[in-house]
């Protein structure tokens, strides 16, 4: 199997959010897909370790925004590279609330949806969640959506997030680097079930240093 074949798949970049039990959180995904039109239903795939996933299990609803091509990398870093269990991701950033009280970012986004969960399926490390759209709104009709390939270009043009592990002199480190957020695991071996503690990606996203 040539893993480069998977890089030929095209995606957008989205932030999924919800609120439950007095907490709220969101995360970055690339797997938002419209699966039916009548009624309009959207599917997402979320890692089961993901904090937003755990909140959606309780709330049964989620908001989704489509990131714009001109989105600030800071917004992606805020929602994609840290865990909502430890950080209030919505603190201090412009956001709205949908009719089901889910928050959603309002800058750097071009469309939003609100969904009620109608079914879900366990697919291993991830759950596929299907939601029926109850709201859909264009927030910026001028700016195109950010594609996943443009996201990778954008990401490579910026400094990776600062955390103790990033401050190591990587020339001298033996270990594994997360190709999504840059986190480094200083270890000879990479456990197959390892999950990046910063961005939640699994072992397949890690490259040997």
Q: Which stretch binds its own copies (CB under 8 A): 20-28, 79-87, 93-101, 136-144?
A: 136-144
Site for its own copies in 56-85 (CB under 8 A): 66
Closest CA to 178 of 158, 164, 194: 194
Q: How buried is residue 197: exposed, middle or buried, by Cβ count under 10 Å (0-12/13-18/19+)?
A: middle
Identity of the residue, 58 or 204, whose beta carbon is nearer to its own copies in the bound complex: 204
Taking CB under 8 A as the criterion, the residue among 27, 75, 110, 178 binding its own copies is 110
Is residue 190 a contact residue for its own copies (CB under 8 A)?
Answer: no
The verdict on 183 binding its own copies (CB under 8 A) reads: no
Task: Examine residue 207 and tell whether it contacts its own copies (CB under 8 A).
Answer: no
Among 87, 118, 89, 92, residue whose Cα is nearest residue 102: 89
What torsion, rounded to 10 degrees, do the Cα atoms 24, 17, 73, 136 define?
A: -140
Contacts of 157 (CB under 8 A, 6+ apart): none
Contact residue for its own copies among 53, 90, 113, 183 (CB under 8 A): 113
Beta-bridge partner residues of 36 = 41
Nearer CB in complex with its own copies: 39/157: 39
Q: What is the 3-state secondary structure (H, E, C) of 98-127?
A: CCCCCEEECCCEEEEEEEEEEEEEECCCEE
| Residue among 39, 92, 157, 164 that touches its own copies (CB under 8 A) | 39
Q: What's the rounded Cα separation, in Å, for the pair 119 and 108?
A: 30
Per CB under 8 A, 117 contacts its own copies: no
3 contributes a contact to its own copies by CB under 8 A: yes
Is residue 34 part of the contact set for its own copies (CB under 8 A)?
Answer: yes
- Look at the chain and count its residues: 209
192: number of Cβ within 10 Å: 8
- Is 88 a binding residue for its own copies by CB under 8 A? The answer is no
The site that binds its own copies (CB under 8 A) totals a number of residues, namely 56
Given the complex with its own copies, which of 20 and 129 has the nearer CB atom? 129
* Residues at the site binding its own copies, with contacts judged by CB under 8 A: 1-6, 8-12, 31-41, 43, 45, 66, 110-113, 118-119, 121-126, 128, 130, 133-138, 141, 145, 147-148, 192-193, 201-205
């Amino acid at each position: 199997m040539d893993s480069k074949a998977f890089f030929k798949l095209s995606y957008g970049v989205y932030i999924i959010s919800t609120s439950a039990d007095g907490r709220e959180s969101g995360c970055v995904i690339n797997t938002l897909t419209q699966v039916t039109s009548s009624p309009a239903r959207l599917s997402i795939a979320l890692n089961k370790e993901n904090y937003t996933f755990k909140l959606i299990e309780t709330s049964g609803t989620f908001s989704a925004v489509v990131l714009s091509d001109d989105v600030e990398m800071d917004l992606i870093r805020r929602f994609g590279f840290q865990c909502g269990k430890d950080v209030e991701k919505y603190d201090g950033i412009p956001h709205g609330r949908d009719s089901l009280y889910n928050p959603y970012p309002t800058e750097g986004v071009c469309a939003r949806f609100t969904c009620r969960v109608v079914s879900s399926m366990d697919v291993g490390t991830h759950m596929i969640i299907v939601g029926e759209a109850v709201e859909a709104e264009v927030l910026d009709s001028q700016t195109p959506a950010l594609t996943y390939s443009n996201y990778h270009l954008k990401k490579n043009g910026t400094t990776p997030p600062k955390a103790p592990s990033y401050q190591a002199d990587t020339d001298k480190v033996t270990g594994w680097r997360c190709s999504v957020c840059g986190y480094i695991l200083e270890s000879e071996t990479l456990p197959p079930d390892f999950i990046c503690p910063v961005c939640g990606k699994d072992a397949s996203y890690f490259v040997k240093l």
